[in-house]
Structure 1
Amino acid sequence: MSLSFTFRRPELAQDLCNRLQGKGLSDARSGLFLAAPRRVGKSTFLREDLVPEISARGWLPVYVDLWANKERDPALIITEAIKKHLADTIGIISKAAKAVGLSKVNVMGTLTIDINQPGLPDNVTLSDVIAELSHQVKKPIVLIVDEAQHALSTTAGLNAMFALKSARDTLNFSAELPALMLVFTGSNRDKLAHLVLNRTQPFFGSSITAFPLLSKSYTDAFTKWANGNLARGNKLRAESVWAAFQLLGHRPEMLRDLIAHIALEGQAQSLSEILEDGARKINNRLWEEFASEFDALTAIQKAVLSVLISKGELWIPFSDESMAAYMAITKTRRLSKATVQTAIDGLREKNLVWKQSRGIYALEDQGFAEWFRLNRLAGEGQV
């Protein structure tokens, strides 16, 4: 029996690649935008299923994780990933090349970039480098940007998104098979949506697709594997594992940690009996943290957060409709925009609200919205 558990979703990877090609009813040649909560296996799928499928089709996968280093500008992370693949293709990152001091690449025949220097010179654009990479590899490129919404946190990051759109339009012009295909993922749907919402955004007109969560086929396979590690008579029940997995928000790592903890506590004989209860306690603990954070807010902060969650990506902080909603919730007759701005700033300091570089706002944690809708809106409908 295998000592580690793996679960593959090749059919999903094949379907997404077909969409990128424009095959079928779901055409993603303009870009594929996948949204899902954190820790549901999205990045694992990208690395272990999507990238291999891309390679199997003879395309070049370029994977970039914008959360790999949150302190670094997203634009620089994307740029360095493209430069690395270009250098690798030309062969100047080998030990032999470095030994003789080869570190520069000619782009578009005349422009030069130094692989050892971060970023790009003023006369070279990200679109130029992508075009050169396409020319060198002579195969379709699939750029996967994980946690793409982080690019919106800086002006340079947003400009990089426009550069990717420009490269896509240029390389794919009149091409039967797209030369550049783009995949963007995000753990916050509202944030990711700001790339496609209006005409000022780089991918206006594209749509957000919900990333398919792991289903019962995953927990059934995991249950079968886990039971191989347990003594006879101390087996997990597939239905209990599936119920616990749903309570944990379809998060595989949390499920495995919970089962391992129960087993290490010497309670393997009661795994199935206590699994659902343990998952429920974890979920309740998270809910309690959200409740505590919300209860500590001022009345106007609660009102702003309530309207933001209700409107989602369509929230306009200082519109007449929003201002009227704040006053209705706080039961006040007069409210200034300055007061609302102060409330928003306070919510940002508490990491409850996120601000794009251009001044657009969104909820920081989608889990908070889920808690709010279930525990506040479902009750009195008030904050």
Structure 2
Amino acid sequence: MRALLITGPGRTELAEVPEPVPAAGEVLLAVEATGLCGTDLHLVHDGGPESAGPLIPGHEVVGTLLELGSGVDDLRPGQRVCVDPLLACGSCRLCRAGRRNLCTRRSAVGITRPGGMAERLAVPAAACWPTTLPPERAVLAEPLACALHGVDRAGVRTGPALVLGAGAMGRLVAAALTARDGAGDPDRADAPDGTVRDVTDRPGITVADISAERVAQARDGGATACLVAELPELPVRRWDLVVDAAGSAHTVALGLARVSRGGTYLQIGVLPRGATVPFTPFDIYDNEIVVTGSRSVLCTVDRAVALLERDERVGRGLVTHRHRLEDAATAFEQLAAHVGVKHVIGAAQREERSCA
């Protein structure tokens, strides 16, 4: 089958690779769509995991089940599923404490093991969540799951919120803040009559970006958005929750300076490992500001799928570019150049396979 390989720092190659075979407890997927994000860019830039050889990237994956490995009896061929890329050991101290995403023995689809930038993919059945969503929406489940975990980490239930960065993650964080664990949480932000509230129905969520184009796209998607330069003109000067979804030293410093007294700062955007940011520790002490981080997903993919199925406005307009597998190199170049918002690769099958 065809797959995109990261063969070294800054190098990718479309190649023929052996067909994956599902082991016991695994399933084989025909990949329908794979989303790109900043993590994929870091992997290409760094050349993939050290000493791991060529890597097939892609951790935002949706596909149709082709084959079931032995012992899999709760799924059926032909189902469309979203993949939870996080695979933890389940037995270490952090796993037992419910923090599987921090497991030191964890692996991840498309990061330490083959991912979705291929025609087919074998993954554990336990990582698959069935959905009726079309592939272009289903592919948003993993990044939305990251956003939901971030909102969980912040723990802020009310008050105004500022999200820095109007890219895919920033807009999904805004949607997650609006939902407030709406997929299965008793404190969901739906109206009493059961109707789902739009992003703009919850007052006080503002998305800010330096790009006028992204601000306009966020507004088209239903978010309250403004340019970063316009923040001083808003009636709110500080926010109970500030989220950096942009991942730059500038937005981190700006975000920390915009947290209200007794507020919370959440870092969900990814900065380079060695990046540093000046801040004043006394302000954190004196204002009792909570500073926390959020990485990856944590048992939130099912909630993300439910939220996407329940409200078609969540993620609306995020997918701006669609690519064939053979054009993946172009997709990476455009993502690195901040062209568009969400790029999705669809691995068109060259040969028909039975789902029977």
| Fold agreement, TM-score > 0.5 | no
Range into which the TM-score falls when normalised by the shorter chain: under 0.3
Q: Which one scores higher on RCO, CA 8 angstroms, separation ≥ 6? A: 2
Flag the structure with larger Rg.
Answer: 1
Higher strand share: 2
Name whichever structure is richer in helix by fraction.
Answer: 1
